[in-house]
Structures are given as C-alpha cells and as structure tokens.
Structure 1
Amino acid sequence: MPADINAAVEAGDLEVAAGPIIVGNNITRRFGGLTAVDVESIEIPRGKITALIGPNGAGKTTLFNLLTGFDRPDSGEWAFNGRSLAGVPAFRVARLGMVRTFQLTKVLAKLTVIENMRLGATAQRGERLWAAPFRALWSSQEQEITARADDLLARFKLDAKREDFAGSLSGGQRKLLEMARALMVDPELIMLDEPMAGVNPALKQSLLGHVKSLRDEGRTVLFVEHDMDMVRDISDWVIVMAQGQIVAQGTPTEVMADPKVIDAYLGAHHDADLSEVEQIVEAEVLEELGQTEGEQP
C-alpha cells in the first residue's frame, strides 16, 4: 500500500482500478480523551462481501461515518476508486458511487414507498429551481426514474406496498426499502450498518439473498454485523475491530479461529478452567449466604 494515496493516484498507478475499492491510512477519531478509531491501514477488496465485526464500542459505526463523510477524522487519508475522500461531504460521496444504510432506518415516514424511491435518484432535472415549473423539461426523466423504482420494488417484494406510507412498514420492510432506495444511485459500493438488526427470521433470509445478489451483480458490499452465522454464510472477507483498532482480518474461517478475535470478544481470560471458575462463584455465593466451611446452614 502506498504511504501517500494521492501521490500514488497522481503517479498513474495502474493497480488502482483493479485493486481494493477503498484504501485508508492512519485514520483516527477522538472524542475528548476517548480514541474511538485508530486504524493504521484498511483495504476493502473490490467485488466482494466484507464483514466488519467486533464487540460493542469497537468503533465500527464511527469508521463507517468517517469513510462516508458523515463525520470528520482527526487525522488520516482514504480513497475510493483512487480518489481521495478527505473533506468530501456525504452527498458527494454518494454521487461517486458509495452509499450506505443505517442501523436505525432513515425512511421518510410521511411519504409513500414509491416517493421514497424516487428521492433516491440523483441528478433529477425537476429538482432544479429554474426547471421545476416546466414539467416538459423533466417529465420523461421522472418516468424513467419511476420505472426503475418499480423494478427495484418488485425485486425486493415491496411492490404491493408501493402506495403505502413508509411509516406503516415493518422494521424488516424498512430495511428492504433502504436497500432498494440505495440502489437507485446505481452504486459500486454499498455499506450496510447492521442490516439484520430487528429483522424477523422470515425477512432475514430475504435480506441475505439480496446481499448475495449485490455481489453477483459485481458490486462491493461492506457491512457491520453481530450475527456470526450470517458472517460465515455470506462473507468473503472479514475485518475485526476492537478498541478502535483492526486486530485481525482474513477469511471467515481464519478469523473465527484467531486467538486475538477470541480475546476481543471474550477477554484475555477466556481460557480459564471452567470448573475453577464455577468453584469460585459457588464459594462466593455460599459466603454471601453465611454457609462457608465451618458454618452450619
């Protein structure tokens, strides 16, 4: 990985297009005395499904926010398709082809499902102040956008909800709507923040199928998830964070067997003899009850 991303791009590095879709160096984010993210280097492989995992508070969502322009780092540099994203606002990042969903869905509850979908499209002529009064200038484009939205709603099995208010959808249906709306941009990279959180088992299988289909279309997927069964099922690559740092990465099989990953989730003393732990706990309980050795119940 080049030490200076911009210098590599300016030098015409031919590997940029074929290499990782995201490359980052020395990314840090602090909140007062707390260092939430301290990532020395990160690479997201192109055309693959990458899982970003780690215990609560590891810095996963903060890193998501930094990469997508929803937050500013204290230091560091990163690039998407060889283009530096330092200081680029979130809406411009999305226009470049990198979109994200949120753990808590961001649907517009008082608009219908189809209206939410139309809003996902970019470069709409009807949104320009000077063109808005002249329907003839943008009506054909709106028809094309609506047709694309209807195709996506059918794909995500939301076509029956087309005219319903988005606020009336279930939690799982809102996740589907967010994913479908993200595809209105025709993105190259889709970032999903805990896509399975709060989703019932029936819709979970549907969401899994849709995530896999994104990879089959040649898109890149990066997602945050706590469901290890899902991570094993669909991930090509796994990155593990703990205390703001990347502690391991590799295939799901490699990562699940890595002692550093086990320590991150279970603590450094996960290998203590269970019988000894049980004996200690039992002794403490008996002591609390006044039934330690030498005392009668």
Structure 2
Amino acid sequence: MDADSTGRAGLAGVPTDPGARKPDPLIVGDNISRAFGGLKAVDVEHLEIQRGVITALIGPNGAGKTTLFNLLTGFDTPDTGDWSFNGKPLSGVAAYKVARRGMVRTFQLTKVLSKLTVIENMRLGATGQRGERFWSAPFKSLWSSQEDEITRRADELLVRFKLDAKREDFAGSLSGGQRKLLEMARALMVDPELIMLDEPMAGVNPALKQSLLGHVQSLRDEGRTVLFVEHDMDMVRHISDWVIVMAQGQIVAEGTPASVMADQRVIDAYLGAHHDTDLSEMDEEAIMEEAMAEIEGTKE
C-alpha cells in the first residue's frame, strides 16, 4: 500500500469529534489561542493533521482559519499554545525556518514578485543557495553548478504546472489563476512534506480550476500532506479526505466531507442554532450548500 492510501486508510476509525486523535499525525497542536483586543480569533484546544492526506479547513468568514495558518507557519505569534511538526516543536520558530523544515504555505492574495520573471520567481523559492552568501557571491565557480541544478528543477516544475510558455514573462503579467499555479510551483522548490494552501480557488477562473484541483491531488499522490482553507465546497467535496470545521475560533466538527455536510454542528456554525423543525439529511446538505454559496458570494 502506498503512502497516500495508507494515510487515508488510517482515517477510517477516527471519531468525528473536534480535535480527534489521528493514527499518524504530522502536526499536533495544543491550547493555541490568539486574541486581537477583545476578539479571540483562535481558541483551539487540540488539533491533529493526518500525514499523507488532503485536509480541508472550512468555516464562516471570521472563523479564524487564516489566523490559525499564520500561527502554525510562524507568520504570527500566539498568546498561548504549543505545536509540533514531525514531532519537533515549532513554537517561536521563524517563518523562514518553518519552511526549511518542510512546511510551506501559499496565500489567499498571491505573493509573486511581479517585476521579476516567472523563472526568477521560481529560483528564489530554492533554499540554501550558495550564491546568496556574502563570502561566496563574488566567485561564480562556487555556485554556478548549484544554480544550474536549481534552474533545471524550476523548469521541470514549470512544465508540470503548464507555465513553461510563460518562463520569461514578468510574473505581474500572469492571470490570477496562473499566479496561484506559480505560487504552488514555487513552494515545491523546497521539496516540502506539508503544503498549506490558503484559498487556492479564490479569484481563479473556471477554466483553471480543474487544473488546480488536479495539481493538489497530485501533491498527495506523491506522498505529500496538504492542508487547505477553502470556501469552494465543490473542491472540498471533490478532493479532501478529511474536513475540519472552525467557528468563532474553535474547532466545532471534523470528519469526512459527507459526514461534515450533514453534521448539525456545522449547520449551526454557519446558520446559527435556531432550527425549529427536524431536517432530513438531504435538507441539511441543501442548507449547507446554500450557506456556502452565500459566503463565497460575499467574498467575491
């Protein structure tokens, strides 16, 4: 059995309770909290992300999803909490060191360097470049072979993500979807074990959505772990193996996409616990889809 199917098989007996224990977690976090003034944006008692699977992190606007991403990746500092990646603590570790350990992320608003070409953006994604060091930079013989290898790897990824025709174009000339692809390709330059995608479908036209879906699935199929924030429920249903639901900074439900869609805790998180009549499973799923559509519409 390959690595990705082993990871998915391990989820079979996991309960659908918030903070459920996983058989092979890559990330484990405890008591992670972050407040902004009087607002507690994140208040997660326990979190585990299974290795080798695609996990979706969903919830209403303001649920704390992106703030949790920022905390886990070192872009923000929590008020309390500890978490580990591959068994090694990450609390207080700078964002660039988190990336070097194999945990990289993309952003809802892409962070490409618009005045550099596509290939230059890709080269910047590689770590440990000898040509960037003060003492070796003047001596090309010390770093030229490494740069050639970095360029070769970058070109392979550009072909994989169908951006090779844009190689010499300025990144600022790319469409929103192409920028998402470039950011994902650049993240792979460090050969990460975990890739965290913040709303990969935001601003992407329908023609590129299917391509992006395929690329996300391919990351898992080659043994990587994917954690993504998304409002596009078609994507969540289509590619995620596990779904974690946040509301008001807390994890309120977990489970497979099918079980989460029919979970009353999830319905309440989006619409409020004010239902006066019993709903069938199909009714609940229809309400959930309608709520998701409204949320997606407000973000656009």
TM-score range, shorter chain: 0.7 to 0.9
| 2:250 corresponds to 1:245 | yes
Aligned partner of 1:197 among 173, 195, 202: 202
Shift in alpha-carbon separation, 1:271–1:97, aligned structure 2, 3 A:
farther
Count of equivalent residues: 257
**Equivalent residue number for residue 32 of structure 2:** 27
2:283 maps to none
2:134 equivalent to 1:129: yes
Cα deviation, residue 271, structure 1: 5.0
| TM-superposed deviation, 1:229 | 1.0
Bigger Rg over Cα: 1
Any idea what SS the aligned residue of 1:123 has?
coil
Equivalence for 1:7? none
| Cα-to-partner distance string for 1:86-133 (whole Å, 9 max, x where unaligned) | 100000000000000000000000000000000000000000011000
- Measured in 2, the distance between the counterparts of 1:168 and 1:34 equals 39
Match of 2:172 in 1: 167
Moved more, 258-267 or 159-168: 258-267
Map 1:215-234; keep pairs closer than 5 Å: 215-234=220-239
The offset of 1:272, in angstroms, is 5.9
Structure 2 unaligned regions, length at least 5: 1-22, 279-300
Which of residues 262, 266, 272 in structure 2 aligns to 1:267?
Answer: 272
Query: Residue by residue, what CA displacement relative to the aligned partner does 1:244-278 show, whole Å, maximum 9, x if unpaired?
Result: 000000111111110000111112224569xxxxx
Report the CA distance between 1:19 and its aligned residue. Answer: 1.9
Percent identity of paired positions between Structure 1 and Structure 2: 84
* Distance of 2:202 and 2:79 partners within structure 1: 30
Q: 1:178 — aligned with what?
A: 183
Runs of 4+ in 1 over 4 A off after TM superposition: 270-273
- Correspondence list, 1:108-123, <5 A: 108-123=113-128
Deviations 1:198-243 (A, max 9, x none): 0000100000000000000000000000011110100000000000
Query: What CA distance in whole angstroms lies between the structure 2 residues aligned with 1:157 and 1:19?
Result: 34
When normalised by structure 2's length, the TM-score is 0.84
SS in 2 for 1:77: strand
Amino acid at match of 1:229: D
Match of 1:156 among 150, 155, 161: 161
* Partner Cα separation in structure 2 for residue 68 and residue 127 of structure 1: 24
TM superposition shift of 1:36:
0.3
Residue 138 of structure 1 corresponds to 143
Further displaced range: 47-56 or 258-267: 258-267
Read off the aligned partner of 1:39 and give its amino acid letter: V
Residue 241 (structure 2) aligns with: 236
CA distance in 1, matches of 2:238, 2:276: 27
Residue in structure 2 matching 1:57, options 29, 54, 62 = 62
Distance 1:131 1:24, change over 3 A: same
In the alignment, does 2:107 pair up with 1:102?
A: yes
Which residue matches 1:211? 216
RMSD: 1.2
- 2:84, 2:206 → 1: CA distance? 36
User: 1:155 offset after TM fit, Å?
Assistant: 0.2
Per the alignment, residue 47 of structure 1 pairs with: 52
